[in-house]
Chains A and B, each alone.
Chain A
Amino acid sequence: MGFELNRFQGEVDEELICPICSGVLEDPLQAPVCEHAFCKTCIHEWISRQPTCPVDRQHITSAQLRQVPRILRNLLSRLSINCDNAQYGCNRTLKLDTLTSHLEECEYNPKRPLPCEQGCGLIIPKDELKDHNCVKELRTLISKQQQKFNDFQQELTEQRFIINEQKRELQLLKDFMRAMRISNPAMRAIADAMERDEVLRWSNSLTRARVTRWGGMISTPDEVLQLIIKRTLSEVGCPSHIIDDLMENCHERRWPPGLCSLETRQNNRRHYENYVCKRVPGKQAVLVLSCDNTHMSEDMMVEPGLVMIFAHGIE
């Protein structure tokens, strides 16, 4: 709806009046052929009832409405209008195009948002400050947030349930694929891709580890130690199809050529720093996955990776 005519200083040209609300045009748009201009809200309201020009009843649609010419916009922006808050004491007169920015900071605006200075710090409309009660407001806020919190909690429970259901379903699917891959080469490719993705996702969920003392590497860990590490891997979500291989590879008998003997280890020592290692939480051990270490030379890596167990020196 347009601006009330009596808010302007001096005469306002008839061209600048909206024929619908009879106020001064606000955000004007014009009809395509006849070029009659109206406030944006006024003409949209009218067209929602009847697709015609309100002046001459030519057929028009919302999509055909156009910007008014610059000259008209300039004429409008030069008009002098009083502040919306004149009745609250603001006696400023402004050019129409600066009205909006003035209103944002007009100190006479009864609804101007101000921070409460009695302690709660909430932002409240100025005219509500005198009836404002910090405790009451904060209580409402708390109860609203409690409600929100309960809603989230509820949703979380539901989501968890759904995720568990889907995990179960996924496991069944994997079993199904494993059974199929033996006979079907296409299925084999898909299953391989899925398993690769799974390892990648898992690897990304682990944090990087830093080995400070490579010399502490245990080349022949005993059964008990292996079992402890394996349980941890399983707890942190190690994909089941690689866990056995990974554990097998923790012993020097399965290490790649570049690591398998004391001699080769000594020769390759300078390359150790290049390994990308992942933490095995809470253990003096790191995971060196082949998908993280494609940059390493072949004789330093083994599929699908290996677990290195240390006496000490893991960060």
Chain B
Amino acid sequence: MANIAAQRIKREFKEVIKSEEVAKCAIKVELVNDNYTELKGEIAGPPDTPYEGGNFVLEIRVPETYPFNPPKVRFITKIWHPNISSVTGAICLDILKDQWAAAMTLRTVLLSLQALLSAAEPDDPQDAVVAKQFKENIDMFQMTARHWTNVYAGGPHINTEFNEKIKRLQDMGVDDHQARVALSSYNWDLERATEQLFS
């Protein structure tokens, strides 16, 4: 790893660890390997959002050319959000692309991602299905996102109705995640989800 990238990451790693956000358990970062090329990040779902109470794990890869190029970040924890792919966890956020600036740090990246969870931008989507739901049926979107937070990120809100529908599909031999994706995509319409799964 280039000297400058290693020097930066070491310092930023310390910066995050010492930050007040860590004290408040809002963000966290851990080393995955000894040479600082890969890290594991964690952000808490912001209050008053469907993500509240959840913990979201991120994969952070530091390129050789860091900080002249942004780190490559994606969600490991499955999440229902217009700007994050529900399939791959890929993130659509300008500062991770062309709006990156060399003075930004791991801490600013994690805080920006947290802000993204509070303020989605459905007009610049990463996941078209989620974005459509967000724009057309915000209540449905919030319930779905809250359910995903409960199942994948340890959020507190259990949705028994949704769980039962998933159970029905599971009984038909469908894997629970597949069932959840199908139901989420069809606004929890069991009939249409079944149709899509078996067509």
B7 touches A46 (CB 8 A): no
Chain A residue nearest in CB terms to B2: A1
Chain A residues with CB under 8 A of B152: none
> A residues 32-58 with Cβ under 8 Å of B?
36, 42, 45-46, 49-50, 52-57
CB B11 to nearest CB in A, in angstroms, measures 4
Question: Residue of B at shortest CB range from A52?
Answer: B101
Max chain B C-beta neighbours (<10 A), residue from A4, A22, A36, A57: A22
CB contacts (< 8 Å) of B3 on chain A: these are 1
Number of interface residues of B (CB under 8 A): 13
In the complex, number of A-B residue pairs with CB atoms less than 8 Å apart: 42
Contact with A along B1-32 (1 / 0, CB 8 A): 00110011001100000000000000000000
Whether a CB of chain B sits under 8 angstroms from the CB of A21 is: yes
Q: Is A45 a contact partner of B68 (Cβ separation < 8 A)?
A: yes
CB distance from B57 to the nearest CB of A (A): 26
A49 contacts B68, CB within 8 Å?
yes
When C-beta atoms are compared, the residue in chain B nearest to A53 turns out to be B101
The answer on a CB contact under 8 Å between B102 and A20 is yes
Picked from A22, A45, A55, A56, the residue with its CB within 8 Å of the CB of B11 is: A22
Contact of B7 among A19, A23, A50, A53 (CB under 8 A): A23
Q: Say yes or no: is B33 at the interface (Cβ < 8 Å to chain A).
A: no
How does the 8 Å CB contact mask read for B96-124 relative to A, with 1 for contact and 0 for none?
A: 00010111000000000000000000000
Number of residues in A with C-beta < 8 Å to the partner? 20
- For residue B5, which residue of chain A has the nearest CB? A21
Do B68 and A21 have beta carbons less than 8 Å apart?
no
Using a CB–CB distance below 8 Å, which chain B residues touch chain A? 3-4, 7-8, 11-12, 67-69, 99, 101-103
- Beyond contacts A46-B68, A46-B102: 9 other A-B pairs, Cβ-Cβ < 8 A, are A1-B3, A20-B4, A20-B68, A21-B7, A22-B7, A23-B7, A52-B101, A54-B101, A54-B102
